[in-house]
């Protein structure tokens, strides 16, 4: 059995599952993402309901995975131990509802959710990064320093001229895009990820 911080995660997996008897439909899947703390929670719930452990794993911050030693394989094993024996998970439970949503400081957010008479605190952090693609090939996937998103993306509003959005990033020397293929996508993003989970006492 999981112990310590991982046991909290295992219990949270069962209780945050939402209406797990019904997988997310196409419209709900289209609305998934990490653009806000609330959307990240919804994405996590949809992953559990749809039996998509890879999607659930993406909801956790890189630092959280490192602190807990959670590889994708370790997460899948923990998930199986947490969810398979729970009859309320198999029957479907009422979705966890957010009762508190508040900013904790730059790049930090706190959610408190309730379900089945239990309350959990989720701490989320903003992760900033950029990606460069050539077709289906991911050429670069680089983390931005905390708080530097605004310097990577700039909105220019010159007088008498159309407003312009400029995004840029320095390409590391070790990355060499393919010479015979055009660059097809440049993405700069800020995403909210779960950085810790605590069960609150009644």
pLDDT at residue 147, rounded to an integer: 81
**What integer is the mean pLDDT of 55-66?**
94
Write down the mean pLDDT value for the chain: 82
Tell me which H or E stretch contains 175: none
**Residue 82 clears pLDDT 80, i.e. is over it:** no
Convert the pLDDT of each residue in 99-132 to its tens digit. Answer: 999 999 999 999 998 877 778 899 999 999 999 9
pLDDT band at 157 (very low <50, low <70, confident <90, very high): confident
pLDDT at residue 72, rounded to an integer: 93
Which residue has better confidence, 96 or 111? 111
**Residue 92 clears pLDDT 60, i.e. is over it:** no
pLDDT band at 11 (very low <50, low <70, confident <90, very high): low
């Amino acid at each position: 059995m999981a112990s310590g911080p991982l046991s909290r995660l295992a219990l949270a997996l069962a209780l945050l599952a939402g209406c797990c008897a019904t997988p997310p439909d196409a419209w709900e899947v289209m609305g998934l993402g990490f653009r806000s703390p609330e959307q990240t929670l919804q994405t996590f719930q949809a992953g559990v309901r749809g039996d998509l452990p890879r999607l659930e794993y993406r909801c956790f911050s890189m630092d959280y995975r490192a602190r807990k030693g959670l590889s994708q394989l370790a997460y899948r094993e923990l998930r199986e131990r947490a969810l398979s024996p729970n009859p309320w998970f198999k029957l479907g439970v009422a979705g966890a509802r957010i009762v508190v949503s508040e900013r904790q400081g730059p790049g930090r957010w706190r959610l408190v959710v309730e379900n089945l008479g239990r309350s959990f605190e989720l701490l989320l952090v903003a992760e900033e990064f950029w990606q460069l693609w050539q077709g289906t090939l991911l050429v670069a996937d680089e983390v931005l320093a905390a708080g530097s998103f605004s310097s990577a993306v700039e909105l220019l509003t010159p007088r008498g001229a159309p407003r312009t959005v400029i995004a840029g990033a320095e390409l590391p020397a070790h990355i060499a895009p393919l010479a015979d293929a055009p660059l097809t996508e440049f993405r700069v993003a800020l995403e909210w990820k779960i950085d810790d989970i605590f069960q609150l006492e009644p």
